[in-house]
């Protein structure tokens, strides 16, 4: 029998993380029902309601887990022995250089997924109902969601997995859970891809600071280009026809960033 302190430190395991995901789904469903009838009183449209439900669900679950593990937000945010300021100064500029190529590659992949698995009318209606670019929705997608999701999926789940499993199993497991959490195949592929990259970044840096920066920058880029191209902020795919020069510049920036990250994070942090 493992002592209670060790059980709490290693929580959740793979099986426990699965049931946490089920609990999150149930919690969001209950919150959605509770807020649905109050949406007119609160002045919420569909996209704001969706974002509020997701943020509240993730936030409540995260708070409960931290209370159970007796862990503070400071320890969750940056468990590395490296200075958080040094981590931010050296890593954030590099992860930001990855964003243009991630946008182009992931959107191209999502277009293929949509082509292979065409949306039903119900799915099109679902995404159309979530469209909205008001300030509250943008702040939630670009700032709040990256913070809360990184705390839960990398700060809690991946951190625990890395203590119990092989690093590849841990990163893949947390990435797959991150993809499934989006509850549709069109965002699943991108979420898994981002989860793998964010998982590697956390495993090497042992900090949520660069993970939050990359997640927030990617979401912001998606929203900005969606608005520019006239698509909804929550649309799973935006048609982008980028010239070869844009692809070349994005890939060059990604290669520079990859070189810098490998130089700084060549070995996993302890």
Q: pTM for the complete prediction?
A: 0.86
Q: What's the first-to-final CA gap in the chain, in angstroms?
A: 26
The structure tokens listed for 245 are: 């020069």
Contact 207, 84 (CB under 8 A): yes
Q: How far apart are CA 160 and CA 163, in angstroms?
A: 5
Q: List the pLDDT tens digit at each of the 270 positions of the chain.
A: 456 666 677 889 888 988 988 888 898 888 888 877 766 666 666 667 777 788 888 888 999 999 898 888 889 999 988 899 999 999 999 999 999 999 988 888 888 887 787 777 776 666 665 555 677 778 888 888 899 999 999 999 999 999 999 999 999 999 999 998 877 787 888 899 999 999 999 999 999 999 999 999 999 998 887 767 655 544 555 545 667 888 889 999 999 999 999 999 876 555
């Amino acid at each position: 029998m493992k002592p209670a302190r060790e059980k709490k430190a290693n929580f959740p395991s793979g099986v426990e993380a699965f049931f946490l995901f089920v609990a999150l789904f149930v919690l969001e469903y209950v919150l959605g029902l509770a807020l649905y009838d109050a949406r007119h009183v609160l002045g919420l449209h569909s996209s704001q309601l969706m974002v509020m439900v997701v943020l509240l669900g993730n936030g409540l679950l995260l708070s409960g887990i931290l209370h159970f593990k007796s862990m503070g937000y400071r320890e969750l945010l940056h468990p590395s022995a490296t200075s958080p300021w040094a981590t931010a100064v050296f890593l954030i500029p590099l992860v930001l250089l990855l964003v243009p190529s991630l946008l182009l590659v992931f959107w191209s992949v999502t277009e293929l997924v949509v082509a292979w698995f065409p949306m039903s009318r119900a799915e099109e209606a679902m995404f159309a109902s979530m469209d909205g670019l008001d300030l509250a929705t943008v702040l939630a997608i670009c700032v709040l969601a990256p913070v809360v999701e990184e705390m839960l999926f990398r700060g809690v789940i991946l951190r625990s997995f890395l203590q119990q499993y092989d690093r590849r199993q841990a990163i893949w497991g947390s990435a797959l859970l991150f993809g499934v959490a989006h509850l549709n195949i069109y965002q699943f592929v991108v979420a898994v891809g981002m989860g793998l990259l964010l998982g590697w970044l956390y495993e090497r840096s042992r900090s949520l600071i660069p993970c939050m920066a990359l997640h927030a920058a990617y979401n912001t880029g998606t929203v900005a280009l969606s608005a520019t191209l006239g698509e909804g902020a929550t649309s799973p795919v935006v048609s982008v026809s980028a010239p070869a020069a844009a692809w070349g510049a994005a890939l060059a920036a990604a290669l520079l960033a990859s070189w810098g990250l490998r130089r700084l994070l060549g070995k996993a942090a302890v």
